[in-house]
Amino acid sequence: MTPGARGGALAAALALAAWLAWPGDAGHAASQVALAGTRGAPSTPAPAQGASMAFFSAPESAPVVPAALSMASTRLHGDPEAPPIARSEEAPVLPTPAELADPKAYQAFEARQNVRLYAAYVRAVDQQVPILRDDIARGIAVGIAPDKIAKAQDKVRRLQEMRAQLVKDHPELGP
């Protein structure tokens, strides 16, 4: 057998082993993770003495890992702390056929698009920072955890720093 054929056979064997070990249905696997703490009997038999522990799950008496449950829930239902995705209401500006044909004209088109993007960012920061500050003040008033307050304050600081950097680099964006 040639070295190339040996490598191919090894790769095929590894792929087969991974395929056999992989859960068959992702939804079924997530439900198994969610139900791990509720079953009375172990889900897999104990390995024989001296056997490899690679494909055996922990005994049911072991604590359920909250991270696994959280990740399964997030995969199925989304991240509850993630902001909603906002779509642009403006129609996208597409390059003209002349801009597509000429590399210099297309570079000018890209530069205009970048300035539009930067200007939209500056406007969004100007609109959202007062709202974030109000939210922070309300959070402090109701006793939100100090680490979450600090995280929000850091977010405001970083937004303002990025805005200042954009205005410095592109004076046409305004003060």
- Spatial contact of 175 and 152, defined as CB atoms under 8 Å apart: no
pLDDT digits (tens, 9 = 90+) for 105-127: 999 999 999 999 999 999 999 99
Q: Which amino acid is at 36?
A: A
Specify the pLDDT at position 18: 61
Specify the pLDDT at position 151: 94
The C-alpha atoms of residue 147 and residue 162 are separated, in whole angstroms, by 22
- Spatial contact of 64 and 34, defined as CB atoms under 8 Å apart: no
- Spatial contact of 20 and 12, defined as CB atoms under 8 Å apart: no
Q: Which amino acid is at 3?
A: P
Which of 39-48, 78-87, 119-128 shows the highest mean pLDDT? Answer: 119-128
Judge whether residue 23 has pLDDT over 80.
Answer: no
Question: What average pLDDT does this structure show over 124-133?
Answer: 94
Q: Specify the higher pLDDT residue, 2 or 53.
A: 2
**Surface-to-core class of residue 138, CB atoms within 10 Å of its CB (0-12 exposed, 13-18 middle, 19+ buried):** exposed
Note the pTM of the prediction, 2 decimals. Answer: 0.48
The C-alpha atoms of residue 54 and residue 50 are separated, in whole angstroms, by 12
- Shortest CA distance to 175 belongs to which of 158, 157, 162, 163? 163
Q: Cα-flanking dihedrals φ and ψ of residue 40, to 5°?
A: -90, -35
Specify the pLDDT at position 17: 62
- Spatial contact of 132 and 152, defined as CB atoms under 8 Å apart: yes
- Spatial contact of 151 and 132, defined as CB atoms under 8 Å apart: no
The C-alpha atoms of residue 48 and residue 70 are separated, in whole angstroms, by 32
Name the packing angle between helices 26-35 and 66-77 (round to 10°). Answer: 140
Q: What percentage of residues in the chain have a pLDDT greater than 90? A: 42
